[in-house]
């Protein structure tokens, strides 16, 4: 037997040595799918079934494509560059370069990145005399890209109102402008190549005759247009191998269509389904928990992960009083593991929302633990946070020129490059700051408007606490409205709200104290605190550091130890997902991905109360925790309750003359068990707000009519 097949398990071997036929490979987490794909290509080449030019292999990232090429180069004495291996967009670019005439493009067409595309749209709207406050360039960009990703040109869009009609007109005009200038944007690559292959039957036949074997990785993440593009290459004599895991489909928000796997089975694989269920990453208890959780999802293709590595340790569950205590616990436990010999690089902290990283970063910073935010920026380095801090800096110090230049035209207020250049000249000639130069330029409408805005904010925050002042500035500056208008702006909004939380925590910090207790001094101290956290304990390349990341960013990675934080209803699963079945199932798949990142040890933590939007939110443990078999869980603090019913300590704020208290566990005949989060009124008019979690969520109940009992 060939040495390249050595060490494959029976299912892997069956997939690698499959005869010339199409198949769907259902590859569970940690089951060696990359090895299967690469070995399949090597086996086809080594046995002479195909030449390198007859293989098309599609991956989702350039990194995955490079890894596949490197592995092939190590397995066989050939140049893997002869094989078409790449991403959908990379291969589309290759097609369009080769067939630019058929695609209607100049030979040396240029590709616009996102920033270039936005600039092109701004030029277009200006040439059409469009009111950019009504039609924001970013919204127009999102509209165009969303339709391109869905495979729709401007003339195919269903128009229901005048606003959408105008957007469709901008889309058509933008396409004409790009064609005239000989440029394409990122989304255009895939759509243009799809249209070319659909239109040109001889070209399509050429590639169907050439590519006898097509292999697609991460098939669960494909959207409808990508699957349509792929089908153009599949001729009657083609063998397609799609490798994926429907249980790890977590990108519906990007347009991923999980139904593609079922359609592929119907279109090509029929009954040819191979399941890779042996896991080479995690111990048995971790896999058993993942299997139990995901089994609750409906319409799965179905598989059950197992390992020969033994059961391993139980999953540790920690209930914290609040998010700060949760973060401290994670930091202390990571330090203990590190002292016992585990590298920090082998420890990951996962969270559902980017905004959660702020409390974690603060705890790690305070403990002197180096960390790295994977796939993103540290909290105080994020664009929206730096914009907000720049407003605070300019209010604290009007001569801060770097803060001025960052925000003078953000959000956009019609201050152009020429105006700023003149302002810089004025400031240089008068040896003054940009703020002072702008204050003396009443003739410029944009600059005078900015000066008035800053002065109004300065007056408005007098007498406010630091969190209140920041919350006001976020609204008055227009930052909140700007990011609310963005398609993917929710993460940025969450981060801005988390900045308010950071200030609420900071006011109780000894570093916040000033000699005379003035707010100006506290704001200056907060800005210094933010600068220090942004600059210290930043792990350099190659340094040993704790890994922080969202669960989405963790897909494809693995660690010896994983801390999964924030397992509360409304956070994980997210509040937006609880209203619909498909949303909850996607969140459950995300939880499945999180669990299966751990090799040896998994911690799950949640908090009884958490700071959100500058206020304390009282919650209940995530339903996902109650979906894990209790025999696999090990509570590691003595006050650990049943997962479905988190007992809260009594709060001081309560309605007069009533036994009901915030944080109390209650039971309702229809809605089940919940937690009291708010009270208002008194006597017969008393109303109680209760978080029931699950599909019932948050409800206000009148005590006079609601039959409640203490749980």
- Which pairs from 444-450 meet CB under 8 Å and 24+ separation? 444/415, 444/419, 445/414, 446/409, 446/413, 446/414, 446/415, 446/419, 447/408, 447/415, 447/419, 447/423, 449/413, 450/408, 450/413, 450/415
| Tokens (6 digits) for 65 | 């494509």
Which residues have C-beta within 8 Å of that of residue 563, sequence separation ≥ 6?
Answer: 330, 333, 334, 347, 348, 349, 350, 603, 605
Q: Which DSSP helix (H) or strand (E) runs through 191?
A: helix 186-199
Asked whether 367 and 338 are in contact (CB, 8 A), the reply is no
Residue 258 and residue 252 in contact, taking contact as beta carbons nearer than 8 Å? yes
Secondary element (H or E) of residue 56: strand 55-59
The structure tokens 């989304």 sit at 187
**Catalytic residue list contains 34:** yes
- Of 597, 599, 601, 623, which is the active-site residue? 597
Asked whether the beta carbons of 362 and 537 are under 8 A apart, the reply is no
Q: Would residue 176 show up in a list of annotated catalytic residues for this protein?
A: no
> Which of 485, 499, 477 is CA-nearest to residue 403?
477
SS3 of residue 213 by DSSP: strand
Cβ atoms of 574 and 586 within 8 Å: the answer is no
DSSP state letter for 539: P
Buried b (16+ CB within 10 A) or exposed e, 124-158: bbeeeebebeebbbbbbbbbbbebbbebbebeebe
* Count of beta carbons in the 10 Å neighbourhood of residue 565: 28
Which of 185, 194, 217, 221 is catalytic? The answer is: 217
For this structure, is 298 an active site residue? no
d(CA 267, CA 269): 7
C-alpha torsion angle, residues 393, 397, 399, 404 (rounded to 10) = 20
Among residues 39, 208, 248, 608, the one annotated as catalytic is 248
Beta bridge partners of 23: 241
Q: Is 33 labeled as catalytic in the residue annotation?
A: yes
Q: Could you count the other beta carbons within 10 Å of the beta carbon of residue 697?
A: 16
Rg (CA), the chain: 29
Residue 500: count of CB within 10 angstroms of its CB: 23
Query: Which is catalytic among the residues 175, 194, 218, 245?
Result: 218
The 3 state secondary structure assigned to 580-623 is CHHHHHHHHHHHHHHHCCEEEEEEEEEEEEEEECCEEEECCECH
Catalytic residue among 17, 34, 335, 560: 34
Give the integer Cα–Cα distance in Å for 130 and 133. Answer: 9
Which residue do the tokens 């459950």 mark? 588
Has 597 been annotated as catalytic?
A: yes
Catalytic (active site) residue 296: no
Which residues does the annotation mark as catalytic? 33-34, 217-218, 248, 597
């Amino acid at each position: 037997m060939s040495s390249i097949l050595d060490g494959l398990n029976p299912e892997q071997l069956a997939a690698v040595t499959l005869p010339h036929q199409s198949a769907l490979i259902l590859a569970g987490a940690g089951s060696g799918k990359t090895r299967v794909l690469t070995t399949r290509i090597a086996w086809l080449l080594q046995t002479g079934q195909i030449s390198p030019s007859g293989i098309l292999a599609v991956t989702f990232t350039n990194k995955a494509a490079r890894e596949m090429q490197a592995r092939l180069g190590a397995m066989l004495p050939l140049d893997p560059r002869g094989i078409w291996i790449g991403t959908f967009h990379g291969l589309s670019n290759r097609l369009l370069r080769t067939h630019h005439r058929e695609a209607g493009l100049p030979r040396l067409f240029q590709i616009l990145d996102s920033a270039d595309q936005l600039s092109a749209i701004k030029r277009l709207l200006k040439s059409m005399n469009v009111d950019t406050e009504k039609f924001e360039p970013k919204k127009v960009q999102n509209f165009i890209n969303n339709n391109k990703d869905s495979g729709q040109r401007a003339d195919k869009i269903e128009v229901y109102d005048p606003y959408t009609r105008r957007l469709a007109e901008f889309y058509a005009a933008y396409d004409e402008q790009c064609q005239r200038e000989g440029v394409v944007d990122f989304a255009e690559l895939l759509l243009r190549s799809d249209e070319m292959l659909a239109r040109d039957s001889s070209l399509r036949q050429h590639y169907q005759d050439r590519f006898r074997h097509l292999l697609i990785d991460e098939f669960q993440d494909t959207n409808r247009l990508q699957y349509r593009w792929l089908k153009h290459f599949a001729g009657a004599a083609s063998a397609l191998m799609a490798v994926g895991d429907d249980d790890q489909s977590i990108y519906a928000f990007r347009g991923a269509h999980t139904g593609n796997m079922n359609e592929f089975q119907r279109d090509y694989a029929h009954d040819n389904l191979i399941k890779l269920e042996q896991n080479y990453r995690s111990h048995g208890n971790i896999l058993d928990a993942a299997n139990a959780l995901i089994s609750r999802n409906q319409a799965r293709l179905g598989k059950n992960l197992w390992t020969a590595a033994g059961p391993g340790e139980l999953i540790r569950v920690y209930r914290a009083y609040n998010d700060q205590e949760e973060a401290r616990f994670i930091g202390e436990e990571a330090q203990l593991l590190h002292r016992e010999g585990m590298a920090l690089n082998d420890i990951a902290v996962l969270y559902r929302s980017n905004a959660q990283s702020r409390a974690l970063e603060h705890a790690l910073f305070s403990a002197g633990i180096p960390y790295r935010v994977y796939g993103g920026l540290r909290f105080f380095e994020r664009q929206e946070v730096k914009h907000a801090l720049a407003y605070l800096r300019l209010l604290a110090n009007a001569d801060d020129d770097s803060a001025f230049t960052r925000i003078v035209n953000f959000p956009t207020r019609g201050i152009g490059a020429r105006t700023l250049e003149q302002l810089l000249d004025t400031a240089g000639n008068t040896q003054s700051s940009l703020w002072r130069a702008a204050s003396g330029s009443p003739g410029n409408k944009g600059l005078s408007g900015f000066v008035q805005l800053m002065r109004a904010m300065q007056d408005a925050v007098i007498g406010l606490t630091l969190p209140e002042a920041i919350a006001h500035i976020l609204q008055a500056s227009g930052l909140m409205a700007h990011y609310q208008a963005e398609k993917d702006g929710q993460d940025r909004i969450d981060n801005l709200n988390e900045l308010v939380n950071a200030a609420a925590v900071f006011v109780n910090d000894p570093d916040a104290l000033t000699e005379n207790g003035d707010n100006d001094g506290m704001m200056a101290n907060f800005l210094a605190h933010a600068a220090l956290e942004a600059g210290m304990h930043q792990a350099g390349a190659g340094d040993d550091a704790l890994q922080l990341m969202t669960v989405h960013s963790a897909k494809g990675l693995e660690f010896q130890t994983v801390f999964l934080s924030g397992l509360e209803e409304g956070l994980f699963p997210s509040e937006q997902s609880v209203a619909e079945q498909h949303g909850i199932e996607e969140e459950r798949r995300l939880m499945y991905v999180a669990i299966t990142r751990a090799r040896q040890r998994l911690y799950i933590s949640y908090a009884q109360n958490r700071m959100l939007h500058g206020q304390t939110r009282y919650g209940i443990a995530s339903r996902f925790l109650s979906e894990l078999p209790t025999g696999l869980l090990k509570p590691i603090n003595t006050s650990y309750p049943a997962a479905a019913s988190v007992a809260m300590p009594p709060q001081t704020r309560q309605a007069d003359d009533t036994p009901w208290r915030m944080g109390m566990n209650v039971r309702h005949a229809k809605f089940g068990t919940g937690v009291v989060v708010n009270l208002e009124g008194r006597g017969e008019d008393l109303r109680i707000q209760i978080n029931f979690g699950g599909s019932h969520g948050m409800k206000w109940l009148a005590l006079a009519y609601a039959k409640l009992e203490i749980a």
